[in-house]
A and B are shown apart, each in its own frame.
Chain A
Amino acid sequence: MGRFVDQFINPVIWARYWDEMLGAIGLTVQLTLLVLLTGLLLGLVLGLIRVAVPPLFRIPIVIFADVFRAIPPLVILVVNYFALPFAGIRLSGFDCAWLGLCLVLAAFTEEIIYGGLRAVGKGQWEAARSTGLGSVTTLMLIVFPQALRMTVAPLTNRTIAIAKNTALGSVIAVPEILNIAMSALSNSANSTPLTMAALFYIVLFAPLIVFSRWIEHRFPQRG
């Protein structure tokens, strides 16, 4: 038992890495927020565009969404970090993680939003258009709010799943929670930093999980 405590919740190690781990939390929060903000926004815009444009123009969006939903996020991050420099594009680990996860979240968001927009009955379009509302106004004020209600639960779940992938940044030298914990682990030959990492993730993501449960209760999915 003493051995376990010593290895996993060693107070000396805990104190030694506390400040550094706090910094990593700050960076993780920053990365997560950036990914959520840009990924959701991009996906939303793409989903709306896909509904609004003629079929031919939808193809690039469909390809984008399918590609970025198919490739494992880790692969995208690694490609960004290790392959893009050969093409003359040199991004920091942070930017690689941000860009990669943003695109993945955008792809899933686009697909969910598009599905929601399509699920709104065509009677809604016809009613709005029959009163002289334009197609953009109808999309934004009549159809989109209904689609959002339908999709907010799956969107929240998907967003949380992708947000947790910030931990993948650890393999491309992003000093986020897991990365710092891993180097602390090898420097100290002690597992306490990993315990700290796990606890920090819980503190970070548990509220989101609770939020998603509330969302699911508040906006039950139809069908």
Chain B
Amino acid sequence: MPIVYKPEYTMAALLKLDNVSKTFGDREVLHGVSLEVAPKEVVFLVGPSGSGKSTLLRFCNLLEHPSSGAVLFEGADILKQKNVNALRQSVGMVFQSFNLYPHMTALWNVAIALRLVQRKSAREAREIAHHFLAEVGLAHRGSAYPAELSGGQQQRVAIARALALKPKLMLFDEPTSALDPELVGSVLDVIRKMRHEGMTMLIVSHEMQFAREAADKVVFLDQGRVVEAGAPAALFGNPQQQRTIEFLSRFSLAGSHG
């Protein structure tokens, strides 16, 4: 019987998933999951394929709606909120497959929502876009189309696209899984930098090494339930549940630092 994770945080959570479930057709894939992310906290969500990580993440910007339970952002239930697009500007998302707009330059990939959602002038939108491209180390590639960029560069443009809207929370769904190994580092560096600057992040990732280094908290999800959660040192160093041990044993963390 897996323990139910009870968040021990007293600090007001920026994001709180309260007993959320999801049913697709007649199959329940998430069974009453609760999870909190405090301001400036970096939470990693790990677990085997099909455990419901993406679905859980997608609740947080309403790309998916839970079948039951509540999702609180800054204390307000987003499921009852009228203006979804306002919420989505506060919650940035980065996808495994980048999803850059192939017919727009890197700069306009970043600028378009500034222009059309935040109603900035074309000039201001370009300036902000350029600033955030510079933040991810791509100041010189603004005029490139996505097809002309490497995977790592594309993902960094996607991060800039989300960051440019000044979100309070960033969601990452396996941001490095589609990348060649040698390109992973450049993306992780950007996430490290964001962490350093105090960005609140919820990250689905199979990069256990990175989770161990960058997480404030790691949540292990299996078959739609939180099996175990805690600080990375505890979860990786001394997992309590058999399923956690089995899952982690698939990743060679032996001899790892940190």
Chain A positions within 8 Å of B, measured between CB atoms, are 121, 123-124, 126-134, 137, 141-142, 145-146, 149
B residues less than 8 Å from A137 (CB atoms): 116
Cα–Cα, bound, A141→B104 (Å): 10
Residues of B at under 8 Å CB distance from A? 61, 63, 85-86, 88-89, 91-93, 95, 97, 99-103, 112-113, 116-118, 158, 161-162, 165
12 residue pairs A–B, Cβ–Cβ below 8 Å: A123-B95, A126-B63, A126-B95, A127-B93, A127-B101, A127-B158, A130-B92, A131-B161, A132-B88, A133-B117, A141-B116, A146-B103
> In the complex, what's the smallest C-beta–C-beta distance from B157 to chain A, in angstroms?
11
Interface centre among A131, A133, A142 (most CB of B within 10 A): A131
Question: Do the beta carbons of A131 and B89 come within 8 Å of each other?
Answer: yes
- Partner among A130, A134, A149 whose Cβ is within 8 Å of the Cβ of B103: A149
Q: 8 additional contacts, CB 8 Å, given A126-B93, A132-B117, A137-B116?
A: A127-B158, A127-B161, A130-B93, A132-B88, A133-B85, A133-B116, A133-B117, A134-B85
Chain A minimum-CB-distance residue to B85:
A132
CB-based contact A126/B162 at 8 Å: no
Q: Which residues of A contact B85 (CB under 8 A)?
A: 132-134
CB distance from A155 to the nearest CB of B (A): 17
Say yes or no: A131-B95 contact (C-beta < 8 A), given A124-B101, A137-B116, A141-B112. no
Whether A132 touches B103, Cβ cut-off 8 Å, given contacts A123-B97, A126-B63, A126-B95, is no
Q: Is the CB of A130 within 8 A of B63?
A: yes
Chain B residues within an 8 Å CB radius of A141: 112, 116
Residue of B nearest to A143 (CB): B101
A123, A127, A133, A149: which has the most chain B beta carbons within 10 Å?
A: A127
Q: How far is the CA of A168 from the CA of B81 in the complex (A)?
A: 58
Cβ B165 vs Cβ A132 within 8 A: yes
From the candidates A130, A133, A134, A146, name the one contacting B102 in the complex (CB within 8 A).
A146
CB of A211, distance to nearest CB on chain B (Å): 21
For A131, give its contact among B97, B102, B103, B165 (CB under 8 Å).
B165
Highest count of chain B CB atoms <10 Å: which of A121, A124, A130, A146: A130
Contact A133–B95 (Cβ < 8 Å)? no
Among residues of B, the one whose C-beta sits closest to the C-beta of A148 is: B103
Judge whether B95 and A132 touch: CB under 8 Å: no
CA distance A128 to B117 in the complex (A): 11
Tell me whether A131 and B113 are in contact (CB under 8 A): yes
Q: Considering the chains assembled together, what is the distance between the CA atoms of A131 and B63 in angstroms? A: 11
Cα–Cα, bound, A126→B162 (Å) = 12
Cα(A124)–Cα(B101), bound, Å: 7
- For A134, list chain B residues within 8 Å (CB): 85
Whether B113 and A133, one on each chain, are in contact in the complex, defined by CB atoms closer than 8 angstroms, is yes
What is the CA–CA distance of A131 and B104 in the complex, to the nearest angstrom? 15
Closest chain B residue to A134, Cβ basis: B85
The smallest C-beta distance from A221 to any residue of chain B, in angstroms, reads 15
| A218 → B minimal CB distance (Å) | 14
Contact of A132 among B100, B101, B102, B113 (CB under 8 A): B113
**Which residues does chain B contribute within 8 Å of A124, judged by CB atoms?**
99, 101
The smallest beta-carbon distance between A38 and chain B, in angstroms, is 27
Is A129 a contact of B63 with CB atoms below 8 Å? yes
The 7 closest A-B pairs by CB, nearest first: A127-B99, A131-B113, A123-B99, A132-B85, A132-B117, A130-B93, A132-B88
